[in-house]
Amino acid sequence: MLEPIPSPPSARPLAAVPQAHARRRPVPLGWALVLPALAFLAVFTYLPAGLVAAMSLFHWNLAGFGASQWVGLHHYAQLMNPISGFLQSLTVTAYYVGMMVPLSIALGLGLAWLLKGRGPRLTLWETFTRSAVFLPYITPAIATSIIWIFIFNPQFGLANAVLTALHLPALGWLTSTTWALPAVMINNLWHNVGFMVILFLAALSTVPQAVVEAAWMDGASAAETFWHVIRPHLSPVMLLAVILGTIQAMQTFGSIYQMTGGQFGGGGGPLNSTTTTAIYLYKSAFVYFHYGYGAAVGVVLFLVMLGVALAQKQIGERRTFYR
Partner 1 sequence: MAQIEWDQVSKWFGPVAAVRDIRLTARDREFLVLLGPSGCGKTTTLRMAAGLEAPTAGRVLLGARDVTHVEPRDRDLAMVFQNYALYPHMTVYDNLAFGLKLRKTPPANIRRAVQDTAVRLGLESLLHRRPSELSGGQRQRVALGRAMVREPQAFLMDEPLSNLDATLRAETRVQLKALHAQLATTVVYVTHDQTEAMTLATRIVVMSGGVIQQVDTPEAIYDHPANQFVATFIGTPGMNMLPVLWTRADGQLAAVIGAQRLPLPPGLPWMRAAASSGHHGATLGVRPEHLRMSGAPDPATPSLKARIRLVEPMGHETLVHLDLDPDLTLVARTPDRWPNGNIPIWVSFDPRRLHVFDSVSQVAYEAV
Give the residues lining the site for partner 1 (CB under 8 A).
1-2, 4-8, 208, 210-211, 213-221, 224, 228-229, 232-233, 321, 323
Calculate the alpha carbon distances from 194 to 113, 215, 319 in Å: 13, 30, 25
Please say which residue, 164 or 206, places its beta carbon nearer to partner 1.
206
The minimum distance between CB 227 and partner 1, in angstroms, equals 11
Q: Coil, strand, or helix at residue 268?
A: coil
- Give whichever of 211 and 311 is closer to partner 1, judged by the CB atom: 211
> What DSSP element (H or E) covers 69?
strand 69-70
- The C-alpha atoms of residue 125 and residue 117 are separated, in whole angstroms, by 10
- Rounded distance between C-alpha atoms, residue 153 and residue 289, angstroms: 32
Between 26 and 208, CB nearer to partner 1 = 208
Smallest gap from Cβ 222 to partner 1, in A, equals 9
Comparison of 2 and 271: residue with beta carbon closer to partner 1:
2
Nearer to partner 1, 5 or 20 (CB): 5
259 within 8 A of 184, measured Cβ to Cβ: yes
What is the distance of C-alpha 320 from the center of its chain?
Answer: 18
> Residue 69 or 221: which CB sits closer to partner 1?
221
| Least gap, CB of 212 to partner 1 (angstroms) | 9
Residues 6+ apart with CB under 8 A from 57: 70, 71, 72, 73, 75, 292
Residue 81, SS3 per DSSP: coil
Q: Looking at 138-275, which runs of residues are DSSP E strands? A: none
CB of 316 to partner 1, least distance (A): 15
Q: How far is the CB of 6 from partner 1 (least distance, A)?
A: 8
- Minimum Å gap between C-beta 233 and partner 1 is 7
Please state, in angstroms and rounded to a whole number, the distance separating the CA atoms of residues 173 and 184.
9
Report the C-alpha gap between 203 and 236 in whole angstroms. Answer: 9
